[in-house]
Chain A
Amino acid sequence: ILNVEQSPQSLHVQEGDSTNFTCSFPSSNFYALHWYRWETAKSPEALFVMTLNGDEKKKGRISATLNTKEGYSYLYIKGSQPEDSATYLCALNRGNTPLVFGKGTRLSVIA
């Protein structure tokens, strides 16, 4: 069974705080790591697709890093805003196989 682990399960931060969460995955046969943001009552939205060890990607105040050798990725949010409140999902792709999702990190940003 392929396990993709995310931590923490949930997180409450004050507006303006920076935060980060972790996605851990088996490092063998790595192909790509996806990050999605899923706001309540909306569809999951793709943030990043990361493929290379050492990759660092940025989208506004959100950035992500990737370490394929040790099997983890970090997602960072700088200066959290209430609109960042969502569940953040990571998903592992091992080539021509379906994505395997973690359970997500639920972020609540308190104004």
Chain B
Amino acid sequence: DTGVSQDPRHKITKRGQNVTFRCDPISEHNRLYWYRQTLGQGPEFLTYFQNEAQLEKSRLLSDRFSAERPKGSFSTLEIQRTEQGDSAMYLCASSSWVGQGRNQPQHFGDGTRLSIL
């Protein structure tokens, strides 16, 4: 079990630039989640995938954000035309979802800390 890995760990960029983050989940996990965490807050849900299908997006997610999981394995999160308010820790998590009535913990990566200048 190599755990969930995220790349990069830190990203500093100028306002208006596009950024892309990558998440590699635990290989046997079929669900993958993206969260955003800002100072003093808990992780806030952004979107999640079951295999390659994106099942839900937060209503708070602007159209500048897009996520993909093309082959049901790794996922990317892209933010276009970044704004200062996008500065946050972006966390990825994965879990195994097996039918109804099963509830497994989510396994998190170390996150990508984004700073917008």
Contacts and interface: CB of A to CB of B under 8 A. Distances in A.
A90 B105 CA distance: 12
B111 A43 contact: yes
A51 B103 contact: yes
Contacts of A49: 103-105
Contacts of A93: 103
A110 interface: no
A98 B54 CA distance: 13
Q: Which of B56, B58, B108 has the most CB of A within 10 A?
A: B108
A1 to B, nearest CB: 11
Taking residues whose C-beta sits less than 8 angstroms from the other chain, chain A's interface range is 20 to 34
> Is chain B's interface secondary structure helix, strand, loop, or mixed overall?
loop
Contacts of B41: 103
Contacts of A101: 35, 42-44
A98 B56 contact: yes
Interface of A: 4, 31-32, 34, 36, 41-46, 49, 51, 89, 91, 93, 97-104
10 contacts: A31-B103, A43-B108, A44-B91, A46-B106, A97-B56, A99-B43, A100-B45, A101-B42, A101-B43, A103-B40
